[in-house]
Structure formats: C-alpha cells, structure tokens
Structure 1
Amino acid sequence: MPDATASPLTTATVLVGRGLLLSRRNLDAVISALVLPVMLMLVFVYFFGGAIDTGDTRYVTYVVPGVIVLCAGFGAAATAVTVSDDMQRGTVDRLRTLDVGAVPFLTGHVVAAVARNLLATGLVLGVALLIGFRPAATAGGWLAAAGLLLAYITAVSWLSAAAGLVTRSPEAAGAVTFLMMFLPYPSSAFVPIDTMPGWLHGFAEHQPVTPLIESLRGLLLDRPVGDAPWTALAWCAGLLLLAVAASGTLFRLRTR
C-alpha cells in the first residue's frame, strides 16, 4: 500500500506495480486475453477466410489489424473486472484512508491493462507472421501504427475502468464491457463494409474502431491512409477525456 505522505506520482507508481502484480496472480484471465484473440484469428483465417473476397489482399493480411483491435477489447474488459473487485472487497476504502484519489488508483489498473494488451498484440503478430501475414510497413509506419494502437488501448482501458466503478460486481462489470469487445465485428475488421447489409453501412463506417482499423491496415501494408489516422486519434482523445472525467465523478460518488 502507498504511504499517506507520498506524492501523487509515487502513489501512482506503487499502484501500477500492484496492478501488474495482480495480473501475474490472475493467470487465467491473462491467458484468456492472450489465447482467445489468437484462436479467433485462426478461426477466421482457416474456417471463413476462403469464403471472403478481400480483392488483391490475402485474407490473413486483411484480418490481422482487426484482430489486434479485438485484442484491446478483451484486455480492457479485464480492467473493469479488477476495478469492480477492488470496490467490492473494500480495497478502495483502505486506499481512501491514505488519501488516494481516483487518478492514482485507476492509473494502476490502466497501465496494467496496457501492458497486458501490448503482450497480447505481440503474440497475435507473432502467430500472424507464422501463418502468412507479410507487412510492408516502413519504420515510420510501424511507429505511427504503434502510437495509434497505444492511444486506443489507453482510451478503452480508461472506459473500462469507469465501467468497473459503475457496476456492483465483477460479473456485471464483465457484461458491461461487452460493447467494447463487440465493436470490431460491425466494422471493416473481418469483412469489407460493402458486403454488409445496407442499413448497417452508416454505423460501420462511422463508429470508433473503423478508422483505427483502416489506419492500421494502411500503415502496416504501406498504403495510403488519408485522414483515417486523424479521425481515429480524435475518437481516442474524445473517449479518453470522457472516461477520465466520468471516472473522477464516479469515484467520488462511490467513496463518499
């Protein structure tokens, strides 16, 4: 536990270490977050890939950016569960006696989620290379893709932390974050949007993950991306600001 006289930065650092330690102890959740996206990628590539027309792009190459974004949703869901568990077990009450605020407490959970997501992303990319994914990104493209992905992971992890403050049980927290795990499906992650029913096009084209996936796909394949990266960053910034503001308010309401 952090010291009551410690600075906010020191307190946040201690709680980040605690969040990483909790991840190590909760190996079943970590393994699920690592293995499930890889299994889904293999299912899409080998079960459905032959029936999906992606033009001159091999399906494995087309689908990998979507699976990477799907990874972020799985990793973020675990954040809601751990935050809700801390609220339920009274851990937050003990932290409040040490004058620990919302930002240091939630930062520990968010940083742990980012670390889990980066590990899962590395695993997905490694398996993707083994089954035929061949990126053509430049050094700048890799950096830009990594930056966009980090921004998205941070934003959805904060949203998930806010969801953990709203719910009254870890089970309910996991259910609330289903939307973040579902969003890549009605997007360009797994099939081209023009193959979907017409009534779904508007949502699929203008939801948060579509510009992110299109940006990652273009950057990793060294193709034009237009203004998609800026749209993706705008979504990430808006979601992050909303999540941080909501988290502060919810934390005060739950701990007063």
Structure 2
Amino acid sequence: MKNQSSLENAISHTDRPKKPSAISASATFAWRSLLRIRYVPEQLFDVTIFPIIFLLMFTYLFGGAISGSTGEYLDYVLPGILVMTVAMITMYTGLDLNKDIEKGVFDRFRTLPIWQPSVLVGALFVDLVRYTLASTIMITLGYILGFRAEDGLSGLIFAVSLLLLFAFSLSWVWTMLGIIVRSEKALMAISMMILFPLTFLSSVFVDPSTMPNWLQYFVDINPITFVVDAVRGLIHGTATTSDIMIILYISIGLILLFGTLTMYFFRNKN
C-alpha cells in the first residue's frame, strides 16, 4: 500500500502539454540552428569570406582580359557570382543533417510527438538567413568597388528574393542526399561533383555566345544559367516575365520532387 502511494505521488496529475503546432516546432528547430552558429561562428565563413574572395578574385584577375575593364566586368559578373555563391552554400544544409544522423540525434527527433517536417523546415529557414547575409555582403562589396544596379533598389530586392526562392528549393536536393548518403565526406564529394559543372558551365562568368557550339547546348539548358540570367536581368532592368516564370517553375518542381523524396526517406530511414 505504501509503494502504491509513493507511485501515485511520483506520477504527475497535471494535464499533458498540448502537441506543438507546426509553426512552433519549426521555430524551435530554427532556433537550434541559430544556436549552432552562435557557438560555432566559423560556420559563417562560407557566407562571409567566400563571397568576398570570389568577387575580388574574378573581377581583378579576369575583368580586364574578358571585358577590357574591371568596372564593366563587375557589372556583368557580380549577379553571376551572387548566384554561384548562394548555390554553392546550399549544400551545407545536407551536411548538417548528415552530421545529426551520424551522431544519433536524428533518431531522437523522429520519436518526438511533433510535426516531423519541422526538423527540416526549421533548418532550411535559418539557411535563408545565411543566404541573405551572403547576398548582402556581396552586393555591399560590389557597390564599394563601383558596381551599380541599373534598376535600382527594387531590382536588387526582386533579384535577391528570386534567388532565395531558388536556393530554398535547391536545398531540398541536399537534404534528401543528406539522409541517404552514409558519410559526410561522401556527401561533400557528391555535392561538389554536381555543383561545380552546374556553376562553372553556365553564364556566371562569360556570355555563352562566346563558347563552342557543343558547350552552348549544355549551358543553355543549365538551370543555373536560367537563374543567373533572371537575376542579372532584374538587377539591370532587362528581365522578362518568361525569365522569372522559368525560375518559379524550376523552384516549384524541385520542392515538389525532392521535398517529397526527402520526407519519404526521412520517415523510412533505418
């Protein structure tokens, strides 16, 4: 009887806490990702140092040779390097997820009574903050070097917004790979193997019309080329509605395809 009384006293008689909403759960995991940056600020090197190095290197190494003027080349190449930089750092979404899987944290998250996609969605929204930071740093540096957006501030805002949408959709590719690839090194190798051809064989650095015909065929259908052309067009006031719609279609397609695959592998991960 005494043991029964002790057991009853040990059991809480308060109401069970309500299940957190999808927004609340996502915000919690977003805060977790922000805390990672707080305690390991080196994670921001890819969105701070990397854009600066690339912009300075390509502008002053190749600007005179390609355009005859570093100022003229800067106006052309900055939107391209902006897209390339943000596209390259999207892979870290998958790398962080892969680390959680290796440490066993991932399995703990899947047992929680929460909206399961919040584990991924929260991290992805924090990554949008990182992409915005990288874009801000690059555009600020560009203006210091002499870059000018012909369509003004509104063009820059629309261009960065479109880029963030594409980056968000591209991140789902790496979240899927982060779940199914067994090691961080393998995931890094796969990511670089995909991103390097896509970013360098595009209109990031030079006009595709200067390339050999056989290479132009690949460049013209490269999704990065579409994004670069749309961002460059929005910044300089030459973008068309079709340029923007193509990016919207690509982004929605990536989210629907790889978002669905990510959640399938997420729920069925052994």
The TM-score, its normalising length taken from structure 2, stands at 0.86
Runs of 4+ in 1 over 6 A off after TM superposition: none
What residue is the counterpart of 2:20 in the other structure? 6
Q: Is the 8 A contact 1:70 1:181 kept in 2?
A: no
What residue is the counterpart of 1:193 in the other structure? 208
How far apart in 1 are the matches of 2:61 and 2:162?
A: 29
Q: Deviations over 1:137-169 (max 9, x none)?
A: 145433421321121111112222112112112
| Equivalent of residue 113 in structure 2, options 86, 89, 99 | 99
2:67 counterpart letter in structure 1: D
Q: Deviations over 1:39-93 (max 9, x none)?
A: 11111110011111389x8100000111111121232121111000011111111
Q: Is the 8 A contact 1:114 1:157 kept in 2?
A: no
What residue is the counterpart of 2:256 in the other structure? 241
* Percent identical: 28
> Would you say 1:18 and 2:32 are equivalent positions?
yes
Of stretches 95-104 and 76-85 in structure 1, the one that deviates more from structure 2 is 95-104
Give matches, 1:139-218, under 5 Å.
Answer: 140-178=154-192, 179-218=194-233
Cα distance change, pair 54–245 in 1 and its aligned pair in 2 (3 A): farther
Q: Is the 8 A contact 2:181 2:187 kept in 1?
A: yes
Structure 1 portions without partners, runs of 5+:
none
Q: Is the 8 A contact 1:102 1:247 kept in 2?
A: no
What residue is the counterpart of 1:117 in the other structure? 131
Q: Deviations over 1:180-221 (max 9, x none)?
A: 354221111101101222211111011111121111111111
How far apart in 2 are the matches of 1:145 and 1:239?
A: 19
Helix, strand or coil at the partner of 1:183: helix
Cα distance change, pair 34–102 in 1 and its aligned pair in 2 (3 A): farther
How far apart in 1 are the matches of 2:181 and 2:188?
A: 9
How far apart in 2 are the matches of 1:139 and 1:45?
A: 22
Q: Kindly tell me the number of residue pairs found equivalent between the two proteins.
A: 252
> Would you say 1:83 and 2:102 are equivalent positions?
no
1:204 counterpart letter in structure 2: V
Q: Is the 8 A contact 1:214 1:225 kept in 2?
A: no
Helix, strand or coil at the partner of 2:269: helix
| Equivalent of residue 29 in structure 1, options 33, 43, 46 | 43
The TM-score, its normalising length taken from structure 1, stands at 0.91
> Would you say 1:53 and 2:67 are equivalent positions?
yes
Give matches, 1:122-141, under 5 Å.
Answer: 122-138=136-152, 140-141=154-155
How far apart in 2 are the matches of 1:134 and 1:217?
A: 12
CA positional deviation for 1:5: 2.6
CA positional deviation for 1:23: 2.6
Cα distance change, pair 214–137 in 1 and its aligned pair in 2 (3 A): same
Cα distance change, pair 158–186 in 1 and its aligned pair in 2 (3 A): same
How far apart in 1 are the matches of 2:39 and 2:126?
A: 12
Q: Is the 8 A contact 1:85 1:170 kept in 2?
A: yes
Of stretches 20-29 and 117-126 in structure 1, the one that deviates more from structure 2 is 20-29
Q: Is the 8 A contact 2:47 2:133 kept in 1?
A: no
Q: RMSD of the alignment, in Å?
A: 2.1
How far apart in 2 are the matches of 1:150 and 1:47?
A: 28
Q: Is the 8 A contact 1:187 1:193 kept in 2?
A: yes
Of stretches 20-29 and 33-42 in structure 1, the one that deviates more from structure 2 is 20-29
Structure 2 portions without partners, runs of 5+:
1-16
CA positional deviation for 1:9: 2.1
2:59 counterpart letter in structure 1: V
Larger Rg: 2
